[in-house]
Structure 1
Amino acid sequence: MSPHRNGRSDAAMTSSLPPHIPTSEVLRGLLAEAPAEGVTFGWLLDRLQKRSFGVVLLLLALIGLTPGTSPVVGLLLTIPALQMILARETPAFPRTIMSRRFSTQRLVRMVDRTVPVLRRMETVIRPRWKMPFETTTRVVGLVVLVLAGVFFVPIPLSNVVPAVTIMLIALAYLEEDGVLLAVSLAMAAAVLIATTITVWQSVEAVRSMFF
């Protein structure tokens, strides 16, 4: 087979791939499909499909910025993180969470607040340096699992930096932005190193007080 034919074949395969749809448009599409009587968390995850992990991580990271939520958020983050490591297609939560119903109007309000922010971010965050989807999913899951442990560190405001880092990782994952993902992973490494040093110094300080 000639190299020219190979090149045309690769180009044809690339052009046949579906175009990337921004997350803001995906969320807008949810409103058109939402039943009038209300939606469940399971329904949302089913409609979001491969975006569901990114959206869950983004929501949990936002909640993680709230004071006093660190242990709960850290625990909840381990669920999607472990499933991403296992390369599951969508996250699965206990039935009580999946069947939790809320009004469609609440979904509309949430989307109306979120979409304008996402659209501004999407002018900068866009598909670049694409990696195989399964590999990216496993890497993101592993990093989020390790960062989830930082939420259990009993140091004031220790939840802020890991929460922001997970938000950036989630946005990079949602928009298939390898550049932002690389920056976010470097930031995650810095967070873990700083946390390890801080915890070690705290332990040494306690030891010097009592021994």
Structure 2
Amino acid sequence: MTEPETEVPPRRLSDIVNSLDTQQDLTIGTLVDAFGERAFGALMFVFAVPNIVPTPPGTSAVLGLPLVILTFQLMIGRQALWLPEAIRRRSIKASMVASFATRAVPVMARFEKILKPRLSLFVNSDPAERLIGIIAFLLAVVLFLPIPFLNILPAAAIACMALGLAERDGLAVLAGYAVAAGCAVLMMAISTALVAAARTFFNVLLGG
């Protein structure tokens, strides 16, 4: 009697990043291929995490554009990430890869200790993935806009959903939804305050 085959768990994302050669430049295509079928979640995390910490002006716009492209494809239901060959051939400097591996991978590894497949309703179906894509796409658009100090919450929400998508953890996805809701409330509050300030300004200006 043969023993049933045990399913081999997929490699951790942190292990994949650690296996990359940080001594030489890396093409985006190589990075996409390394993550394989989990490229959507992994690359969403890679581009979102640097926006959670204070960065030089303009960084969110540079990193936000790839997020817009990734999340749009997830939103429309693509099963495999597509990138133009010109983008796949673009190089990422070895220093940037090494910096990411040094700073972000330990954070990723800590999260991976508590991430596990669960609450599949929120991550293991085409509608669930499309919903993640829709919310992440809207957040990526906000992240791409040159709005100072409003990149942390959208980036944190995308990072949570990205890890949930990559590790099939519905709880992490729900955490991302909660952060996204907080981001929406904050933006509504800021918009309301700006409208009120504008009305007050014009009333004073016009003597109303």
TM-score range, shorter chain: 0.7 to 0.9
Alignment of 1:185-196 (within 5 A): 185-196=177-188
CA distance in 2, matches of 1:48, 1:64: 21
Aligned equivalent of 1:62: 49
- Selected match of 2:190 from 172, 182, 198: 198
Aligned-pair distance for 1:147?
1.1
Aligned equivalent of 1:169: 161
State whether structure 2 residue 27 is matched by structure 1 residue 40: yes
Aligned equivalent of 2:206: none
Alpha-carbon contact 2:62-2:144 (below 8 Å) kept:
no
Q: Match of 2:119, SS?
A: coil
Aligned equivalent of 1:178: 170
Alignment of 1:1-211 (within 5 A): 19-28=9-18, 30-31=19-20, 39-65=26-52, 66-68=55-57, 69-102=59-92, 107=97, 110-111=100-101, 114-130=104-120, 131-151=123-143, 155-211=147-203
CA distance in 2, matches of 1:18, 1:187: 32
Q: Which amino acid aligns with 2:85?
A: R
Alpha-carbon contact 1:74-1:152 (below 8 Å) kept:
yes
CA distance in 1, matches of 2:103, 2:177: 28
Q: Match of 1:157, SS?
A: coil
Q: Give the aligned length.
A: 194
Q: Match of 1:92, SS?
A: coil
CA distance in 2, matches of 1:84, 1:190: 22
Percent identity (aligned): 30
Alpha-carbon contact 1:82-1:142 (below 8 Å) kept:
yes
Q: Which amino acid aligns with 2:41?
A: G
Higher helix share: 1
Aligned-pair distance for 1:77?
2.0
Q: Match of 1:90, SS?
A: coil
Aligned-pair distance for 1:79?
0.7
CA distance in 2, matches of 1:128, 1:135: 17
CA distance in 1, matches of 2:164, 2:88: 25
Superposed CA RMSD = 3.0
Which segments of 5 or more consecutive residues in structure 2 lack a partner in the other structure?
204-208
Alpha-carbon contact 1:87-1:138 (below 8 Å) kept:
yes
Q: Which amino acid aligns with 2:29?
A: G
Change (3 A) 1:153 1:116: closer
CA distance in 2, matches of 1:208, 1:104: 52
TM-score scaled by structure 1?
A: 0.75
Change (3 A) 1:204 1:154: farther
CA distance in 2, matches of 1:105, 1:196: 39
